[in-house]
């Protein structure tokens, strides 16, 4: 029985996809022999049966992780090789591939009993099995593939190894250790699936990839599968109509053919989404058909003509692998057209023989020739494939690949399991780290969207910004008009991208706040000097005081880098403010720090700054840190920054608050309150603060979430005792979840 020719069609239907279907029960000796005899002329049935018994005897009582007897594994491996219709030496090598590694049998024993050929194959597979692939570096994958191709000297070694790996992947769920499953899956994804593709075993490659994908990235696979199912349900009617159109077209043109619908695998979609900035729909929303003509190459071009006459083709997607086959021998016409209803439809057009090659790859060239069943080198070369018996030719091809990226993309994929896969309403895939929330999503889509994000709808439902996203979620961001960092954003983000952008936003807002504060201070100073602020042009006095703009001036004053006293001096040279300043309301700022803080080691004239990280408050323990060129920065002893100087005690300066600070000054304490979303909650909080003798300067209301609101109070206090009292008063309220003194707000900068 010839392996190519008239019976091709029937054979393809028998074993679609090579190495595909497998029964749960392994074949008996008789069944295996019968299956091989059905396609293999000149089979030595005794010898094959002998190999079966040999494997069974020597694996003995050994068990697989599944609990099955070990010898069932080599039997399954040989069955996969039978589906590829390989020669008896290869089938026998499949049966014996583990005996040298796992039993007391030596390679010599195999050689004596089954001959040189089988022993070489078993030896090659054993060597491959012993290689330890460690994929710490992705570059390794490429080298490893080259290494395998260059060292094995018979393509059948690779075929047995692929069958071995296929059965191991099909039964991988029996392995208890996740680490081991991951290692095997990664090796399969990065080494063996690409090698299978390289020798034209596309179906083998796809299945290996999909099973590895399931181990390495179950969340991504699930997300893809869900979306594919949705899409399929949505498209059902359209698909049927297109299918009928194609049948009608082929009938009208009198083309004899088989038409197959093709489904995309979750992994194939995923790979494209990973590689390009395109949407799920762009990749998945294309119907795909294969037309297998009952004729020759000319008939393929005729079908192409029929399709292109009726529907317009997308020229950039047309590929002619019939006149120029792929290096592995693959032949087919690929075209994508715009069919009825503007649907994109992808076609592969090929003859039965080309289809057989595409299904079986290099294994398609095993035939009976010169009284021997085996690889027909001439036929293989004629098909554009030149493996010799030696794989060096393949490794050459590999090195001269036009587009090495296509081959290497598998190795480059990031297969982090710590991910969650979500979609925009238009279907673009957004990959985020596990635990990500809507703000992370928004920033991943676009910075402008993140900056204005005020809410989110997840799968159509309004949800809080605190919602942790799940695989497959479709997230729609609700946007406000102005860019604004929501209060409590540190707790609402996990990605560095979102955090960096929000930090920037918060900094801008802070600069604004300083400008406003500076403006207020100037107005107050002017009033004290009996000048009506309404008549004063800020831009003019800014220029006179040496600033380039009024914004620069107000910010400098707000930050206490420039005092209002100096400013008034500039406007009215010689003006001395009355010394009627209310010392009991002296604000604790850098200008007054020297009056508020004392220490034995302080030399007169040394510049003191209040820590912008911790806002020290009179009454709490403080410490000074010498900053070269800046003087001394006063920190609260509990400030995290202080810990950074643990190993530089020479920079520490002992400091205390002065009596003036303890009795006559006010400092600003920043307090963050998380409170239940009740009507009038703000009034309740303000009353409590006032009753505890706190003077509220500003309140920033955080955006309302489903059930809570974040509020940030700046409160004037005279000392730390007051802060403690205010916190206690707030915490005693039923509506308050937490109330804390905030010291970290600038810490993140």
For residue 622, what are its two tokens? Answer: 């403080």
Per-residue x/- track, 278-317, Mn ion (CB under 5 A): ----------------------------------------
Q: Are 29 and 49 in contact (CB under 8 A)?
A: yes
The pair phi, psi for residue 645, each rounded to 5°, is -105, 15
Which CB atom, from 164 or from 359, has the smaller least distance to Mn ion?
164
Q: Which is nearer to Mn ion, 126 or 493 (CB)?
A: 126
- Other CB atoms within 10 Å distance of the CB of residue 418: 10
Candidates 329, 360, 334, 364; CA nearest to 349 is 334
Shortest distance (Å) from residue 363 CB to Mn ion: 19
Is the Cβ of residue 89 or residue 164 nearer to Mn ion in the bound state?
164
Give the CB-nearest residue to Mn ion: 164
Identified binder of Mn ion from the candidate list 87, 120, 164, 353, rule CB under 5 A? 164
101 is an active site residue: yes
By rule CB under 5 A, what string of x and - marks binding of each residue 114-153 to Mn ion? ----------------------------------------
Neighbour count for residue 313 (Cβ, 10 Å): 15
Selecting among 45, 50, 68, 102, the annotated active-site residue is: 102
Q: Counting Cβ atoms within 10 Å, is residue 604 exposed (0-12), middle (13-18) or buried (19+)? A: exposed
Six token digits for residue 117 = 């050929």
Binding segment (CB under 5 A) for Mn ion, from list 47-55, 60-68, 158-166, 423-431: 158-166
Closest separation between CB of residue 196 and Mn ion, Å? 16
Among positions 79, 87, 89, 98, the unique one binding Mn ion when judged by CB under 5 A: 98
**Residues in binding contact with Mn ion, number by CB under 5 A:** 2
Print the binding letters for residues 53-72 with Mn ion: x by CB under 5 A, - otherwise: --------------------
Which one of the spans 157-165, 357-365, 616-624, 736-744 is the region binding Mn ion (CB under 5 A)? 157-165
CA–CA dist 367, 377 (Å, integer): 10
Stretch that binds Mn ion, among 156-164, 449-457, 558-566, 650-658 (CB under 5 A): 156-164
Q: Mind giving me the DSSP string for 17-68?
A: TSS----SSPPPHHHHHHHHHTT-TT--HHHHHHHHHHHHHHHTT-B-TTSS
- Tokens matching residue 399: 């090195």
Q: Judged by CB, which is closer to Mn ion: 123, or 612? A: 123
| SS3 labels along 170-233 | HCHHHCCCHHHHHHHHHHHHHHHHHHHHHCCCHHHHHHHHHHHHHHHCHHHHHHHHHHHHHHHH
Q: Which is nearer to Mn ion, 94 or 631 (CB)?
A: 94
CB of 73 to Mn ion, least distance (A): 6
Q: Give the distance, in angstroms, between the CA of residue 357 and the centroid of all CA atoms in the same chain.
A: 35
User: Least distance to Mn ion from the beta carbon of 452, Å?
Assistant: 57
Q: How many residues does the chain have?
A: 749
Q: Quick one: 169 or 429, whose CB is closer to Mn ion?
A: 169
In the complex with Mn ion, which residue's Cβ is closer, 110 or 665? 110
Q: CB under 5 A: which stretch of 84-92, 96-104, 228-236, 641-649 binds Mn ion?
A: 96-104
> Rule CB under 5 A: which of 487-516 touch Mn ion?
none
CB of residue 195 vs Mn ion: minimum separation in angstroms? Answer: 16
Tokens of 113: 């009993």
Count of CB atoms situated within 10 Å of the CB of 464: 17
CB 675 within 8 A of CB 708: yes
Task: Determine which one of 101, 418, 566, 707 is catalytic.
Answer: 101
Q: Which stretch binds Mn ion (CB under 5 A): 81-89, 93-101, 286-294, 360-368?
A: 93-101
Chain CA centroid to CA 55, Å: 44
Q: Confirm if 641 and 712 have CB atoms less than 8 A apart.
A: no
Compute how many other C-beta atoms are within 10 angstroms of the C-beta atom of residue 312. 11
* Phi, psi (rounded to 5 degrees) for 713: -105, 135
89 sits near Mn ion (criterion: CB under 5 A):
no
Known catalytic residue: 539? no
3-state DSSP percent of the chain in helix, strand and coil, to 5 = 50, 20, 30
Identity of the residue, 101 or 406, whose beta carbon is nearer to Mn ion in the bound complex: 101
Q: What's the DSSP call for residue 474?
A: B
Name which of residues 605 to 634 contact Mn ion (CB under 5 A). Answer: none
270 with 224: CB under 8 angstroms? yes
Q: Which stretch binds Mn ion (CB under 5 A): 162-170, 577-585, 646-654, 686-694?
A: 162-170
What positions carry a catalytic annotation? 101-102
Contact footprint for Mn ion (CB under 5 A):
98, 164
């Amino acid at each position: 029985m010839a392996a190519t020719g008239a019976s091709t069609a029937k054979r393809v239907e028998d074993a679609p996809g090579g190495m595909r279907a497998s029964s749960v029960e392994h074949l008996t000796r008789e069944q295996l022999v019968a299956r091989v005899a059905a396609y293999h002329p000149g089979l030595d049935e005794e010898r094959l049966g002998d190999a079966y018994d040999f494997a069974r005897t020597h694996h003995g009582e050994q068990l697989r992780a599944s609990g099955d007897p070990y010898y069932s594994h080599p039997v399954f491996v040989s069955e996969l090789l039978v589906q590829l219709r390989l020669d008896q030496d290869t089938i026998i090598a499949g049966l014996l591939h583990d005996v040298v590694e796992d039993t007391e049998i030596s390679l010599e024993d195999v050689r004596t009993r089954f001959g040189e050929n089988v022993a070489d194959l078993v030896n090659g597979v054993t060597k491959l099995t012993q290689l330890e692939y460690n994929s710490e570096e992705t570059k390794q994958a490429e080298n490893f593939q080259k290494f395998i191709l260059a060292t094995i000297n018979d393509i059948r070694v690779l075929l047995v190894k692929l069958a071995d790996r296929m059965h191991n992947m099909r039964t991988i769920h029996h392995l208890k250790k996740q680490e081991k499953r991951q290692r095997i899956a990664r090796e399969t994804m990065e080494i063996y699936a690409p090698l299978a593709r390289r020798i034209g075993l596309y179906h083998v490659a796809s299945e290996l990839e999909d099973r590895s994908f399931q181990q390495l990235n179950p969340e991504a696979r699930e997300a893809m599968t869900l979306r594919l199912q949705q899409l399929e349900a949505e498209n059902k009617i359209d698909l049927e109509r297109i299918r009928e159109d194609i049948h009608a077209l082929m009938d009208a043109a009198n083309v004899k053919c088989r038409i197959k619908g093709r489904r995309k695998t979750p992994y194939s979609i995923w790979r494209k989404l990973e590689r390009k900035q395109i949407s799920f729909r762009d990749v998945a929303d294309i119907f795909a058909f294969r037309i297998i003509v009952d004729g020759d190459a000319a008939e393929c071009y005729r079908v192409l003509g029929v399709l292109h006459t009726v529907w317009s083709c997308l020229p950039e997607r047309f590929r002619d692998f019939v006149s120029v086959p792929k290096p592995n021998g693959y032949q087919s016409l690929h075209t994508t057209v715009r069919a009825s209803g503007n649907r994109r439809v992808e076609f592969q057009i090929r003859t039965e023989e080309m289809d057989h090659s595409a299904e079986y790859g290099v294994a398609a060239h095993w035939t009976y020739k010169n009284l021997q069943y085996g690889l027909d080198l001439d036929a293989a070369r004629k098909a554009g494939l030149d493996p010799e018996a030696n794989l060096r030719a393949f490794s050459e091809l590999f090195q001269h690949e036009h587009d090495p990226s296509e081959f290497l993309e598998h190795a480059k994929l990031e297969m982090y399991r710590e991910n969650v896969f979500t979609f925009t309403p238009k279907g673009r895939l957004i990959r985020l780290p596990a635990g990500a929330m809507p703000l992370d999503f928004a920033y991943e889509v676009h910075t402008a969207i993140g900056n204005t994000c005020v809410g989110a709808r997840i799968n159509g439902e309004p949800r809080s910004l605190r919602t942790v996203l799940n695989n497959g979620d479709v997230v729609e961001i609700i946007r406000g008009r102005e860019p604004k960092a929501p209060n409590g954003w540190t707790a609402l983000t996990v990605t560095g991208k979102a955090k960096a952008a929000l930090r920037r936003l918060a900094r801008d807002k802070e600069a604004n706040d300083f400008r406003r504060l500076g403006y207020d201070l100037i107005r107050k100073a002017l009033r004290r000097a009996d000048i009506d602020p309404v008549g004063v042009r800020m831009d003019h006095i800014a220029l006179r005081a040496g600033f380039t703009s009024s914004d620069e001036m107000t910010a400098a004053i707000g930050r206490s880098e420039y005092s209002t006293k100096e400013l008034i001096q500039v406007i009215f040279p010689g003006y001395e403010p009355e010394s009627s300043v209310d010392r009991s309301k002296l604000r604790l700022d850098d200008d007054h720090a020297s009056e508020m803080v004392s220490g034995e080691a302080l030399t007169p004239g040394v510049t003191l700054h209040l820590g912008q990280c911790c806002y020290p408050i009179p009454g709490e323990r403080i410490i000074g840190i010498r900053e070269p060129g800046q003087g001394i920065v006063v920190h609260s002893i509990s400030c995290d920054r202080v810990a950074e100087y643990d190993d530089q005690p020479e920079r520490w300066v002992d400091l205390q608050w002065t009596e003036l600070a303890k009795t006559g000054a006010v400092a600003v304490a920043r307090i963050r309150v998380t409170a239940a979303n009740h009507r009038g909650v703000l009034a309740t909080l303000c009353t409590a603060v006032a009753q505890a003798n706190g003077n509220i300067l500003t309140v920033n209301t955080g955006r309302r979430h489903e059930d809570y609101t974040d509020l940030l109070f700046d409160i004037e206090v005279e000392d730390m005792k007051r802060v403690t009292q205010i916190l206690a008063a707030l915490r005693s309220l039923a509506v308050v979840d937490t109330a804390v003194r905030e010291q970290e707000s600038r810490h993140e900068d």
